[in-house]
Chains A and B, each alone.
Chain A
């Protein structure tokens, strides 16, 4: 394949897909879903741009810009906006201003602002700064857990149990994330049973919702359906969300598949902020604008004003001095004849 940068060499998963070795689990014979008769009437969008998005952007963003972004997003109709992360600034410099951001934003009464809390110290600092909801991040892959947070999956669950107990006492809801749900940059394919184990554990520990993340973006409609079928057998569907990356352009097709299986919570990032740390130059998070466009086109309500999200996206891209990753945004900013695109306003 020629010279492959180090970041991509770590991607065993990418090698798997290049050959014909990638195959769906043998149980996935039918290649037919959906499991439900119609799409959900309403899909809740969880906006992760200010945290997951910015965390993976190279450019350092000043606090006031982060605050302005979140304030703009608060006016779009989004009901959940992940605001920041109470992780040590030693590890994630972009999130060093977590206190100022959380105390500085103009909190809308219709919006929740969860923050990441990897451990009990982070949780306590978050509560002190006024957090009313937190999130913890598990992994379906052992290697990813060790490389990303320096401990095994089991050790991380014990850490999260502490956070969840403390949160329960403080009546603070906790959202769980499972990384590598459709593949791992180190281990390659991830069996749906591994994802199920972690998702179930997080749910049983007390997470009200578990977001299943295609961390490398390598998942396809086939692996999404197989994984969801396994997880849904152990975790109620209303408690599941999907967090798709668009690194291989598969995100919207994967999200569509999840909707067809009955999932009604979708994570996304304004302007598709947040590149992929495992493939330099490649994209990461799926764009909120593109997701909302698809959902509205399907007649699914989101409560979100697409034009306002596009504006927020334009704002942050100008601040980051980078073009948007959202195709909807690219298309609408340059359209020559507006008449055809009046449907966007619907």
Chain B
């Protein structure tokens, strides 16, 4: 049974990390050209988002959607005060990213061994060693690095994942030098009780100001999970405009939580995000038209921004 007595007052401000252009598009079947990606990112910059994950420096062999990584990095209009982190799975990707002008990078660990092996073809320990190389280079060049932990509330192969395992990986990433660690409910199967228990374990190893949550809405639980995370002191939330990015483990099911729906909830709680919701919805409509798909955001649907 979940105790409610440890909950804290909600944060006054929440930083939204917009992952639509990378995590979102990466999981969309339709390939969009570079100019569409650039326009999307520019619209998101105008909507007031402080962090926009722009692209991924992974081999185009693995992720064709991100093949135009350099063109996107060079083409976007960088709004002052906004960061545009990019994914760098290894040193090679890191070098290419910096050459293309990246000023912040991100690395992805997993709390599940099986997931690590199936997703990036190596064990969790091996992946952390790969990242150590990236960390060293980034440290020298003073490039901030964000860490991600996948499968924090469950794994599509292993089933349940222990909070202590999540804490272990999060702690490794943080002590390696990641300024922030984003905890991802990769299959969306987590519920508020699991979220609270996981955070409790992680917060013993990593300070809460360095934590973020990355919730998937595959089972409709994302907003409830985010609310509980806020009640536990988390103040950084990842989300994807229009809820871009389906779930690769449940065909046709949804994936990322929609930024519009998160912002609606936060504003309704009088929490400051700096985001202009109508402009955000415009960006969502734009990318859905380009992808020829309906939005996954309920706020957008209710406002007829389909």
A residues apposed to B, CB below 8 Å: 1-2, 4-5, 8, 14, 17-18, 20, 22-24, 30-32, 34, 36-39, 41, 217, 219-223, 246-250, 252-253, 255-257, 260, 276, 279-283, 287, 290, 293-294, 296-299, 326-328, 330-332, 334-337, 339-343
Q: Which listed residue (A5, A220, A252) contacts B224, Cβ 8 A? A: A252
Query: Known contacts A17-B264, A32-B7: does B298 contact A249 (CB below 8 Å)?
Result: yes
The residue in chain A whose Cβ has the minimal distance to the Cβ of B7 is A34
Q: What residue of chain A has the Cβ atom nearest to residue B227's Cβ?
A: A253
Check B270 against A24 for contact (C-beta < 8 Å). yes
Closest 5 CB pairs of A and B: A297-B191, A220-B268, A249-B298, A327-B220, A249-B261
Instruction: Convert B22-45 into 0s and 1s, putting 1 for each residue whose CB lies closer than 8 angstroms to a CB of A.
Output: 000000000000000000000000
B9:A30 contact, CB within 8 angstroms: yes
Q: 8 Å CB contacts to A: which residues of B144-179?
A: 154-160
Contact (Cβ within 8 A) A41 B1: yes
* Residue pair B264, A297 in contact (C-beta under 8 Å): no
Contacts from B to A (Cβ < 8 Å): 1-5, 7-10, 154-160, 187-194, 217-221, 223-224, 226-228, 247, 249-254, 258, 261, 264-265, 267-270, 277-278, 297-299, 301-306
CB-CB under 8 A from A260, the residues of chain B are 4, 7
CB distance from B6 to the nearest CB of A (A): 10
Would B254 and A279 count as touching, CB distance under 8 A? Answer: no
Asked whether A336 and B249 contact (CB < 8 A) given A4-B304, A248-B298, A293-B219, the answer is yes
Residues of A near B5 (CB, < 8 A) are: 37-38
Q: B249: which A residues are within 8 A, CB to CB? A: 335-337, 340
B191: chain A residues at CB < 8 Å are 293-294, 296-298
With A293-B219, A299-B2 known as contacts, the answer to whether A247 contacts B278 (CB < 8 A) is no
By the criterion CB–CB under 8 Å, are B218 and A327 in contact? yes
Further contacts, 5 of them, CB under 8 A, given A220-B268, A282-B301, A299-B193: A36-B4, A37-B3, A281-B304, A337-B249, A343-B159
Identify whether the interface residues of B are mostly helix, strand, loop, or mixed.
loop
Among candidates B1, B7, B219, B278, residue contacting A328 with C-beta atoms closer than 8 Å: B219
Q: How close is A116's CB to chain B, nearest CB, in angstroms?
A: 25
Please determine whether A252 and B223 come into contact, CB atoms closer than 8 angstroms.
yes
How many Å lie between the Cα of A253 and that of B226 in the bound state?
Answer: 9
With beta carbons under 8 angstroms apart, the residue of B7, B264, B298, B302 that contacts A220 is: B264
- Evaluate contact between A297 and B303: CB separation under 8 angstroms: no
* 24 pairs of residues in contact across A and B, judged by CB atoms under 8 Å: A4-B304, A14-B302, A17-B268, A30-B9, A31-B9, A39-B1, A39-B2, A221-B227, A222-B270, A247-B298, A250-B268, A252-B223, A253-B265, A255-B224, A279-B303, A282-B302, A283-B301, A287-B220, A294-B220, A297-B221, A299-B193, A330-B252, A332-B250, A341-B189
